[in-house]
Structure formats: C-alpha cells, structure tokens
Amino acid sequence: MNTEDVRAKSPDELKEELTKLKKEQFNLRFQQATNQLENTARVRQVRKDIARIKTVLAEKSKAQTGAA
C-alpha cells in the first residue's frame, strides 16, 4: 500500500482498513510468539501501513478543521 492509495480513500475507508490491519498485526504477533510466523517481513510492513494510515487520517482531520 503506497501513499497515493491511502490519500485517495475516504476517512471511513481508512478507519476500516486500519481496523483490518490492527487485527492482522495481532495475529502476526500471536504467530510470532508461538514460533509459527513464516513471513517475518510482514510484521514490519503492517506496522508501516498502520502508521501511514494514521498520518493521512491526521492530515485529513487537520485540513477539515482548518477549513471550517
């Protein structure tokens, strides 16, 4: 997921995607704790996607309150 894709989505879609990624992050941590995690790079990728979505949500929120 790149920044252009994230910026193109609405805040509701971003919140939905954030929830999905947080669930995936939980499952990945659980797999890692039980030594069942195969793709260790996915943990970092999910973490960065979560941060990217949170950043864009904050920017959209700030832009919306600044315009009002």
Mean local confidence (pLDDT), 4-25: 97
pLDDT at 68: 59
pTM over 0.75: yes
Q: What is the mean pLDDT of residues 23-45?
A: 97
For 35, residues 6+ apart whose C-beta sits below 8 A from its C-beta are: none
pLDDT for the residue numbered 55: 97
- Nearest alpha-carbon partner for 6 in 42, 41, 54: 54
Can you tell me whether residue 12 is helix, strand or coil? helix
Q: Domains in the chain, start-ordered, CATH in brackets? A: 3-67 (1.10.287.310)
